[in-house]
A and B are shown apart, each in its own frame.
Chain A
């Protein structure tokens, strides 16, 4: 499944996404949670904590500022821009893939 959650600020997008991700993971699915918000907060709702959420933001800001390279593959997005969240969810602050490596 690929599910995107959208809505007005404060209506509960992040909370809904986080609960969806963890409930799915608890029922045995492998789940990637992507935080595409310009102001990424999904880590807080998933339960990875303040420090780790801020670390992911810093990683993304470095990419946005051109200080580090964009990911070249999905695997790299998950490895480099991701962290492990409870229930086995893998959280990643998404950046676009540039110069994809050939398959």
Chain B
């Protein structure tokens, strides 16, 4: 575990980002994680920095295009092509006004979408980045989803997180991407903790193979769950149906485990405690 982030603010909330190879299940896990956390009566901001966003499906919202408008930013100085939030607009205001409210009360903030014009995208991305950097750490738990692969992660787009979750499925290519991503622990801005989550598991043997290949324990194991595929075909969240699906239960266990690493954060440990 890496501990270069200094002392943890006793009242700050969790800041978790999911990385991994494309198709490993980052968006599905991140979106489900965000909603399960919100069901524990917690304020959650879901952050999507994928220019081809997949998180809305998992969050259960029908849009994949929720742009931040151009006029939230102004040019730092004329011709500089550097954009900052316009005077008077705080990161909290921007989230209030322009994030999409999802089922269970999660708020979703999307980074520029590749369908937009490049100039628009630059402004939206500047706004998104500033919000992520400057938002009051006591307002929301942050749950972020990065694009597949190593590029954005290595460039530091997950810097806002103090927990980075590497999602891996038991295939050679996914394992190779995961092994590259585990090098994030050596970055100047290494997160407080970097944990490994195994997804789409067929058997316990998959876990052993992953741990042997990556020389690191798997923190949470998520089984291959046909209900996830059935929902995915229809563009539905893994939470559609009932909550006893193996995938949802495993993500809830992951949430429990991550919560315990923030011993100073008061989140009800089990969903049952909230609803009983």
Question: Residues of A with Cβ closer than 8 Å to B?
Answer: 8-11, 14, 37-39, 41, 44-45, 50, 53-54
Contact = CB atoms under 8 A, between A and B. Distances in A.
B219 interface: no
A9 B149 CA distance: 8
Contacts of A11: 22-23
A39 B172 contact: no
Contact of A9 (B22, B172, B176, B180): B22
A53 B176 contact: yes
Q: How large is the interface on B (under 10, 10 to 19, 20 to 34, 35 or more residues)?
A: 10 to 19
B176 A41 contact: yes
Given A8-B23, A38-B149, 19 more contacts: A8-B52, A9-B21, A9-B148, A10-B22, A10-B23, A10-B148, A11-B23, A14-B173, A37-B149, A38-B150, A38-B151, A39-B21, A39-B149, A39-B150, A39-B180, A41-B173, A41-B176, A53-B176, A54-B176
B223 to A, nearest CB: 18
Contacts of A45: 173
Contacts of A39: 21, 149-151, 177, 180
A interface majority secondary structure: loop
A54 B81 CA distance: 38
Contacts of A44: 172-173, 176
A67 B177 CA distance: 23
A94 to B, nearest CB: 15
A9 B151 contact: no
Contacts of A10: 21-24, 148
6 contacts: A8-B23, A8-B52, A10-B21, A11-B22, A38-B149, A38-B151
A18 to B, nearest CB: 11
Contacts of B22: 8-11
A62 B228 CA distance: 40
Nearest to A7: B22
Determine which residue in B24, B52, B148, B176 has the highest number of CB atoms from chain A within 10 A of its CB, and name it.
Answer: B176
Interface in B49-93: 52
Contacts of A54: 176
